[in-house]
Structure 1
């Protein structure tokens, strides 16, 4: 099958059918970016080093590459040894008619590989290049390792996450990489839109750090510090902006989450827990007063919730139109009617034949979720489709220092 037919055979009529993406990235950030594009119908060609492939394949549970299974569906895999001339030539063939190139090497690596902007511009002036790094392509931090945990610590996230009397808490998933990847998908498509129909197009480079997108979603931290002189404190499940907002333990040892900052909701809550004068109580009569007296407010709510089982608590909130819901773990969600009704989990067969559930595309277009057109590919599964009978070149030549950020 020639590459053009290979591209269209599984693209269908999805929004990004006909868009060709070459993904040189490793681990989460680039894979998240191209995961978004692939689910929308783009042909994503994962370029992987021989034998071991993308390091994401090594993130396994019970011998299964679960992250690879979830985030590399709808993609192609080719094995190329980019330390050899033959395979670099094959890469340039892919890039010659590509729309988007994604990489997350250390800054300067692409140039050392002979793929700086001038070379890419000569090869394909309509190319959009998304360059992901920890701290950006320039500046004193450019050469610093940029793994997500460092960004989650330095961005301010860890300092505001957790409880005041306990250490700062890093997220239990690749938050910085994931946020950057989703930002990167939008940026790549915006740049691609600008390239279309532009007779004087030149390569568009997007400098995307892991730090800046995460920093941007943490709220107006700088403005609030300048106004108050105080950093956002760690407050557990409470909110620094409104109250009540917390999790409360039920009689059957479950948890329910409540967010009731609006006065109408609060009035119904106070009435329901048997304290109808709540909004007249000076401790709870204003937004500022409730934040100041949050311990007393939480104690009042918890005193009522502790008498109820989780189903009873959910019914209590539902009949009063109070914004509350259960705290679920994945075991709960696998049996939850919302998940079943929305068909958010779909079965996928792993390369070893086992079947597990993965998330479907997390949106609908005209009432339909984009399909999983194929499962995550085995390493080098699509070499023949893109290069014929050619095999990856043997290890040779100087290292390209192609390290993921």
Structure 2
């Protein structure tokens, strides 16, 4: 098997995973998010895609461009394999023979039906870490249930606590459950790989990663608070169930500013600034619990002052007093924002059709440098010849029904 030369102008410090090989059998967001994190850190990520169709993420288009694919598959490689064909399965096992991590998000049991159960994988590569993503986990009564993120966002408790009390529950406007699981999964994969590298007698390690559990884990101490109060967390819009004031307030120029001032020192400066210096002596606002109980009155007091100010004036008002507040921005605002420009968080990327658009850079720095985009998101099967030889570019057009993503 050929070993491709990696293209990189990055310093070694920004590519700590440059000796890591990942085989990605996943589709859509969760697995792509996981391997996106690893690829940006220098790992060789090989996306194995069904012929002609490719990863379903490619179909998420705007104005004819696969924008999600462009953003989350940069720094990856693509090979077309029809996993119903013995020759292509042999190519896959060849890729796995020296891989560190395998990522899949098939329905539980699919990998086994493909002939890649744990015993077989141990025979191929006992040092392999297998991250198995599914909606509800590999075992249990929900294991065979479809697990798209919207179901998880509804059942986990997120939708029930999101939105306003007098309006329906609100699902997130992006693939939240998949994204959270993918980021968790990257950490789990690296932890398991670290354990494998120190193991004198390695055996395949399986990580059972559901979409449900990571999202449930970041929603806060919901169970404990329900047990203490007997009440689920209510939908409260932009307010917080844990501290006040915390909301968005409208300015005189029809803009919005977000404010979080739960600490008493910050709140004292806020009360002083809006002309109500006795605020912390007011019994309605003197304690944490009192402020939550009287949140309507507190918000009305703050809004009464913000209404008099334009957004720039409001931001100056808060900045002078060291009060934690900022503008509510949409992407049109951010494309012009000095913080984004200074931090270089957006970079230009050329799509396969020649158009140039902005995508997020790696959202961190290592020793002062962001890992670069070493190569753009691959076209379907772009790297077949690199991995399998020059005569392996064409893949027979036979439907791939062996594996269904969650």
TM category (shorter chain) comes to over 0.9
Write out aligned runs for 1:82-101 (5 A). Answer: 82-101=83-102
Q: 1:155, 1:215 within 8 Å by CA — same for their partners in 2?
A: yes
TM-score normalised to structure 2 length: 0.97
Q: Distance in 1 between matches of 2:10 and 2:263?
A: 46
Q: Distance in 1 between matches of 2:358 and 2:190?
A: 29
Unaligned runs of 5+ in 1: none
Q: 2:247, 2:259 within 8 Å by CA — same for their partners in 1?
A: yes
Residues 10 and 312 of structure 1: is their aligned pair in 2 closer, same or farther, counting only changes over 3 Å? Answer: closer
User: Match of 1:325?
Assistant: 326
User: Match of 1:335?
Assistant: 336
Q: 1:132, 1:209 within 8 Å by CA — same for their partners in 2?
A: yes
Write out aligned runs for 1:360-371 (5 A). Answer: 360-371=361-372
Q: Distance in 2 between matches of 1:179 and 1:100?
A: 19
Q: Distance in 2 between matches of 1:391 and 1:311?
A: 57
Residues 10 and 74 of structure 1: is their aligned pair in 2 closer, same or farther, counting only changes over 3 Å? Answer: farther
Farther off after superposition, 98-107 or 10-19: 10-19
Q: Distance in 2 between matches of 1:87 and 1:156?
A: 42
Q: Distance in 2 between matches of 1:354 and 1:331?
A: 19
Q: Distance in 2 between matches of 1:277 and 1:251?
A: 26
SS in 1 for 2:392: coil
- Counterpart check, 1:36 vs 2:37: yes
- Counterpart check, 1:214 vs 2:212: no
Q: CA deviation at 1:15?
A: 0.3
Q: Which residue of the other structure, out of 376, 380, 396, is the alignment partner of 1:394? A: 396
Per-residue CA distance 1:229-264 (angstroms, 9 max, x = gap): 110000000000000000000000000000000111
Per-residue CA distance 1:267-307 (angstroms, 9 max, x = gap): 10000000010000010010010000000000000000000
User: Match of 1:239?
Assistant: 240
- Counterpart check, 1:358 vs 2:364: no
Q: 1:7, 1:18 within 8 Å by CA — same for their partners in 2?
A: no
- The root-mean-square deviation of aligned C-alpha atoms, in Å, is 1.3
Write out aligned runs for 1:4-403 (5 A). Answer: 4-7=3-6, 13=12, 14-388=15-389, 389-395=391-397, 399-400=401-402, 402-403=403-404
SS in 1 for 2:5: helix
Q: Distance in 1 between matches of 2:74 and 2:191?
A: 23
Q: CA deviation at 1:10?
A: 7.6
Q: Distance in 2 between matches of 1:9 and 1:226?
A: 53
Q: Distance in 1 between matches of 2:228 and 2:275?
A: 38
Residues 72 and 395 of structure 1: is their aligned pair in 2 closer, same or farther, counting only changes over 3 Å? Answer: same
| Off by >4 Å, runs of 4+ in structure 1 | 7-12, 395-398
Q: 1:195, 1:201 within 8 Å by CA — same for their partners in 2?
A: yes
Q: 1:157, 1:218 within 8 Å by CA — same for their partners in 2?
A: yes
How many residue pairs are counted as aligned between the two chains?
403
Q: CA deviation at 1:109?
A: 0.3
Q: CA deviation at 1:6?
A: 2.5
Q: Distance in 2 between matches of 1:12 and 1:45?
A: 22
User: Match of 1:3?
Assistant: 2
Q: CA deviation at 1:312?
A: 0.1
SS in 2 for 1:159: helix
Q: CA deviation at 1:390?
A: 1.5
Q: 1:49, 1:81 within 8 Å by CA — same for their partners in 2?
A: yes
SS in 1 for 2:382: coil
